């Protein structure tokens, strides 16, 4: 009897400690979230990059001295990321900003000369065909000039802010590099831990993680790599056609290639139209043919190859994830949006199956 009473006291004491533990856990979770929130974007980029190069890390890990040192293998793979991925990306962004600054300066000169010399100055700065189209609109709708001037001022502010945030870029760059090292070295441990704490049966949690891997592979390989190749090919076509700022418009093609229903045609079709408008028929035909036969076909051919295994996700779900993610998180949302929405749909489907099974077992459904 005394032993039972002692056992009851132990149970009561254990139950009594649950509420304080829950409060402390919630408080620490809140504080940890507040501390980690500023690092969400660079850590998310690190996770995407680490996922992309993890096959390379596994290959390095199996060779020579790397078999005995996970640190050395992770450091080597991280160096590859820095010199082959991050540095070229930052350099491309720098060139894009530089080209954008040149276009802004050109537009500012147009507006300045228009204000001092009238519309006749357009003939000096723009092709005659374009001037004939613009002049009637400028004369009839004076607010168009104010819109162009406002757009130029916004562009100037954006370029200045972009170059002014150089320290932030370096700070994010260092976080991405350090986090990428640890994610490569300890990624399997992190995945195992997450799989254990997911509130699902072991078989379901394994399917959940496998699903996440498939979706990430589809997004990273099928969307990013295809868009990069399309942007590079598009920039080459832009340069062959003799249009200015091929680096900037190639970067725009990379961006639009990742968005469903838009694509690179939003860049090269207006470029072709511009060439036709200035009577450069040969260059216009070249760019139009290049966009139709090369840029578009590259996307159709490479995307199925890069998506090895695929995400097996409905296109409408991917569309919502991409567009909504872009609105919520910017460029990062292009990759995280489809992952989040697809995993939510997966859990919703699991809930539907469990709820239906419970209704059948309870006799509500025959």
Q: pTM for this one?
A: 0.64
pLDDT in the model for residue 117: 46
Please report which confidence band the pLDDT of residue 210 belongs to, taking 50, 70 and 90 as the band edges.
confident
Q: Higher-confidence residue: 365 or 178?
A: 178
Reply yes or no on whether the pLDDT at 84 is more than 90.
no
Percentage of the chain beyond pLDDT 70 is 69
pLDDT in the model for residue 11: 45
Reply yes or no on whether the pLDDT at 4 is more than 80.
no
> In the chain, helix, strand, coil percent, each to 5?
90, 0, 10
Please report which confidence band the pLDDT of residue 1 belongs to, taking 50, 70 and 90 as the band edges.
very low
Q: 113-145 burial, b for 16+ CB within 10 Å, e for fewer? A: bbeeeeeebbeeebbeeebeeeeeebeeeeeee
- Quote the DSSP letter at residue 137: H
pLDDT in the model for residue 312: 64
Average pLDDT of span 53-61: 87
Reply yes or no on whether the pLDDT at 253 is more than 80.
yes
Reply yes or no on whether the pLDDT at 27 is more than 90.
yes
Backbone phi and psi for residue 240, each to the nearest 5 degrees, phi listed first? -60, -35
The Cα diameter of the chain in Å comes to 106
Best CA proximity match to 245, nearest among 97, 92, 99, 90: 99
pLDDT in the model for residue 66: 81
Q: Higher-confidence residue: 303 or 79?
A: 79
Reply yes or no on whether the pLDDT at 334 is more than 60.
yes
Q: 317-328 burial, b for 16+ CB within 10 Å, e for fewer? A: bbbbbbbebbee
309: tokens are 């295994």
pLDDT per residue as tens digits for the range 342-363:
888 888 888 888 888 887 777 7
Average pLDDT of span 195-206: 80
pLDDT in the model for residue 49: 85
Q: Higher-confidence residue: 262 or 202?
A: 202
pLDDT in the model for residue 48: 85
Best CA proximity match to 339, nearest among 221, 225, 212: 212
Among all chains, which residue has been given the structure tokens 């872009």? 326
**Mean pLDDT (the chain, rounded):** 75
Q: 168-196 burial, b for 16+ CB within 10 Å, e for fewer? A: eeeebbebbbebbbebbbebeeeeeeeee
How many angstroms from the chain centroid is the CA of residue 55?
20
39: tokens are 């690092």
């Amino acid at each position: 009897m005394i032993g039972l009473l002692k056992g009851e006291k132990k149970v009561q004491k254990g139950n009594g400690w649950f509420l304080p533990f829950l409060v402390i856990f919630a408080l620490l979770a809140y504080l940890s979230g507040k501390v980690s929130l500023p690092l969400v974007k660079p850590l998310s980029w690190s996770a995407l990059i680490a996922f992309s190069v993890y096959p390379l890390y596994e290959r390095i890990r199996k060779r020579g001295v790397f078999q005995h040192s996970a640190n050395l293998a992770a450091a080597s793979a991280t160096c590859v990321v820095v010199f082959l991925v991050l540095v070229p990306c930052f350099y491309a962004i720098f060139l894009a900003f530089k080209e954008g600054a040149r276009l802004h300066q050109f537009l500012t000169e147009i507006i300045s000369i228009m204000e001092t010399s009238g519309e006749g100055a357009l003939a000096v700065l723009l092709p005659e065909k374009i001037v004939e189209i613009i002049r009637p609109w400028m004369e009839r709708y004076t607010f168009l000039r104010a819109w162009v001037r406002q757009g130029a001022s916004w562009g100037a502010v954006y370029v200045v802010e972009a170059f002014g945030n150089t320290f932030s870029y370096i700070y994010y760059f260092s976080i991405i590099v350090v986090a990428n090292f640890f994610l490569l070295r300890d990624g399997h441990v992190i995945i195992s831990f997450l799989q254990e704490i997911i509130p699902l049966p072991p078989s379901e949690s394994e399917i959940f993680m496998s699903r996440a891997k498939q979706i990430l592979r589809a997004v990273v390989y099928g969307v990013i790599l295809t868009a990069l190749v399309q942007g590079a090919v598009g920039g080459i076509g832009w340069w062959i056609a003799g249009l200015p700022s091929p680096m900037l418009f190639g970067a725009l093609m990379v961006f639009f290639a990742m968005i469903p229903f838009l694509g690179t045609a939003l860049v090269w079709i207006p470029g072709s139209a511009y060439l036709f408008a200035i009577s450069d028929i040969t260059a216009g035909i070249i760019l139009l043919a290049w966009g139709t036969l090369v840029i578009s076909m590259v996307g159709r051919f490479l995307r199925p190859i890069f998506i090895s295994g695929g995400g097996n996700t409905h296109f409408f779900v991917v569309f919502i994830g991409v567009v909504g993610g872009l609105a919520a998180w910017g460029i990062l949302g292009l990759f995280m949006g489809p992952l989040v929405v697809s995993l939510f749909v997966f859990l919703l489907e699991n809930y539907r199956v469990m709820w239906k099974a419970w209704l059948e077992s309870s006799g509500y459904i025959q």
